[in-house]
Amino acid sequence: MVDVVNGKKLREVEAGAYIAASGAMSGGRLYVGHYENELLCVDVEKGAVVWRYRDRAFPFMSSPALTADRVLVGSRDKRLHCVNREDGKAVWTFQTRGKVESSPVVAGEHVVVGSDDGRLYVVSLKDGKELWNHEIGQPIQSSPAVVDGHIVVGCDDGFVYCFAAKR
């Protein structure tokens, strides 16, 4: 942690491995995954790890999305993970057919995420059940954006796609 005024180091926390994506902050806590297969919750003020979530031996390469009580993060284990923010216990996982390096976005009661299997997925925030997917055909490693009822996402094929609900 660095003082934003003078740039001096305030404290550091040993994460245990290389961190490939940005973390998410809320309520003085940082949620971040790393290359040695863990998602961490760090108390920024204390400079201490509050909990560690580990499921299988695959790195977390996406940035987490937060709700009031959940942390959602993609992994190279081909799954989207939903974890309880308070204690780091698994709530559900959603299986895709490829790595999930796309950072999920929460839109109301839905979670939107891309996968290396070439699909964009919308799953239920409540239980992780698939609600919809669209196969683009090339890996989707970028993070979707949701605005005014539209989902916008870039794909490894060089195109940007926009989806909207049928009217």
Strands (DSSP E) found in 108-167: 110-114, 119-124, 130-135, 145-147, 150-154, 160-164
pLDDT of residue 90: 97
How much is the average pLDDT of 154-163? 96
Q: What is the pTM of this model?
A: 0.94
pLDDT tens per residue across span 10-57: 888 888 888 989 999 999 999 999 998 999 999 999 999 999 999 888
pLDDT of residue 95: 97
Is pLDDT larger for residue 55 or for residue 127? 127
pLDDT of residue 56: 83
pLDDT of residue 85: 97
**Residue 167: pLDDT over 80:** no
pLDDT tens per residue across span 68-124: 999 999 999 999 999 999 999 999 999 999 999 999 999 999 999 999 999 999 999
Long-range CB contacts (within 8 A, 24+) of 87-94: 87/51, 88/39, 88/41, 88/50, 88/51, 88/52, 88/53, 89/53, 90/53, 90/55, 91/128, 92/127, 92/128, 93/55, 93/128, 94/121, 94/123, 94/128, 94/129, 94/130
Planar angle of CA 15, 21, 26, nearest 5 degrees: 75
Q: Which domains are seen in the chain, by residue range?
A: 24-164 (2.40.128.630)
pLDDT of residue 14: 86
Torsion, CA 34, CA 36, CA 41, CA 42, rounded to 10: -80
Is pLDDT larger for residue 146 or for residue 57? 146
pLDDT of residue 158: 95
